[in-house]
Amino acid sequence: MGNYLPSTDYQQKEMLDVIGLDSLDALYSDIPEDLKLNRTLAIPNGKSESEILKFFSELSEMNTVYPSVFRGAGAYRHYIPSIVQSITSKETFLTAYTPYQAELSQGILQSIFEYQTMIAELTGLDVSNASVYDGASAVGEAAAMCRDRKRSVTLISAAANPEVIDTITTYCNSSNYEVALIPVVDGVTDKEALKQLLVENVSAVYIQQPNFYGQIEDCSDFAEIIHDAGAKFIMGINPIAAAILKTPGECGADIAVGEGQPLGMPLSFGGPYLGFMATTNEMVRKLPGRIVGQTTDDEGRRAFVLTLQAREQHIRREKASSNICSNQALCAMTAAVYMASMGPDGMKDVAMQCMSKAHYLMQQLDTIGLKRVHSGRFFHEFVTDCSDTDRVLAHLASNGILGGLPVESGILWCATEMNTKADIDKLILLVKEVI
């Protein structure tokens, strides 16, 4: 059995002597006898480190790792520069707590401040928080920022990621607020329907760009339509696409949110990921979660602190708009190191490669008869029809390729900079064999 107890039996006895007790059990005299377990837990005996490594290696080998991935739908495989893992594995970053004690936490605080700056840059908005759990819960938090006494209904584009729609529905319903879906036409949000739905009790509208089907929404006039009705515009973005597409700031969004996983986080079976949130100066005091600010210390040196804390649960208690009291600090650092490594040109390069490769894939699928089901522009995902989805995907899987995600109208394909032309050509040949 393994444990991490440095005190020897002898030292434990010495300590008990100082306290004036004769056994470890005596420490629990406050617990009534009938509440004590008084049996061995029904879990296995402890294991040595070597046994643990073997056990988990075998478990991990029960999973299939595909050398070639053409599936996205909310989780994307990108190249992660090796320095990202090297930095985020540093033990101090890994094992520190939330930076409550500023003097002892400048490193963590500054890294968050730098992350906030990068997210503000990426989204074209004024301020970012220190991050939240993931992209889906970020939308739930954003919806809560927009509600007031007169407006409480959140409209969500039906072209948003289904995981996000499910999560925001839970968030809104749980505090007895209503959610309504905006219909989709030809793979994008139906603006005419949106206008009809924008009645006086609507507090916010959520539009995802690019949307779940990979389509680039026409964001030129969402802000105008939504603001004219007195509601707020929440724009969900893919952070890679944001390097080249019009920013939420340029689109007039009040809040930008998104899933930060593409910024250097591996797929990891769905987590840990990163929810990012940015907003305008006007709404900053409604922004939930940790926020780091710059100030000076008693000698005038630059210093960073957690700030605007009166928004938060430990002060506002039941009047806080959110109970969140942590962030995904290490994931935020991951994103910051990723963006710092790639730089502005590298970020644009990733985005352009994703989009170019997805278009090449689409053209090649088209030539063998898998036709795109939507018109309009797309980023790095698109849907084609397919008469026998199961057969196509199974054939790809047996050749080491994770194909697109089966959806109602066919297959949702994704390409990133990781998919080489050779990978794409191989996929085309394989698909051709079974259709």
Q: Is 52 in the site for another protein (CB under 8 A)?
A: yes
Q: Is 230 in the site for another protein (CB under 8 A)?
A: no
Give the number of other Cβ atoms within 10 Å of residue 79's Cβ: 13
| Cβ 196 to another protein shortest distance, Å | 26
Mention every residue, 6+ apart, whose C-beta is less than 8 A from residue 4: none
Stretch of residues binding another protein (CB under 8 A), selected from 109-117, 182-190, 192-200, 224-232: 109-117
Task: Single out the residue of 66, 178, 227, 428 in contact with another protein (rule: CB under 8 A).
Answer: 66
Contacts 24+ apart (CB under 8 A), 418-426: 418/69, 418/77, 418/78, 418/79, 419/68, 419/69, 419/70, 419/357, 419/361, 421/357, 421/360, 423/68, 424/357, 424/360, 424/361, 424/364, 425/364, 426/68, 426/399, 426/401
Q: For 361, phi and psi rounded to 5 degrees?
A: -60, -45
Q: Is 395 in the site for another protein (CB under 8 A)?
A: no
Q: Show the tokens assigned to 77.
A: 């495989």
Task: Single out the residue of 12, 196, 375, 387 in contact with another protein (rule: CB under 8 A).
Answer: 12
Window 191 to 210, contacts with another protein (CB under 8 A): none
> Does residue 96 contact residue 368 with C-beta atoms inside 8 Å?
no
Closer residue to another protein in complex, CB, 133/276:
133
Rg of the chain (C-alpha set): 25
Stretch of residues binding another protein (CB under 8 A), selected from 151-159, 343-351, 381-389, 426-434: 343-351
Return d(Cα 60, Cα 252) in angstroms, integer: 45
Q: Is 290 in the site for another protein (CB under 8 A)?
A: yes
Task: Single out the residue of 142, 145, 373, 424 in contact with another protein (rule: CB under 8 A).
Answer: 424
Q: Is 272 in the site for another protein (CB under 8 A)?
A: yes
Return d(Cα 333, Cα 337) in angstroms, integer: 6
Closer residue to another protein in complex, CB, 127/184:
127
Closer residue to another protein in complex, CB, 22/196:
22
Q: Is 225 in the site for another protein (CB under 8 A)?
A: no
Q: Is 237 in the site for another protein (CB under 8 A)?
A: no
**Is the backbone peptide bond immediately before 406 cis, with ω within 30 degrees of 0?**
no
Window 399 to 418, contacts with another protein (CB under 8 A): 402, 405, 417
Task: Single out the residue of 158, 181, 283, 349 in contact with another protein (rule: CB under 8 A).
Answer: 349
Q: Distance between terminal CA atoms of the chain?
A: 55
Task: Single out the residue of 22, 175, 186, 433 in contact with another protein (rule: CB under 8 A).
Answer: 175
Task: Single out the residue of 313, 395, 400, 430 in contact with another protein (rule: CB under 8 A).
Answer: 313
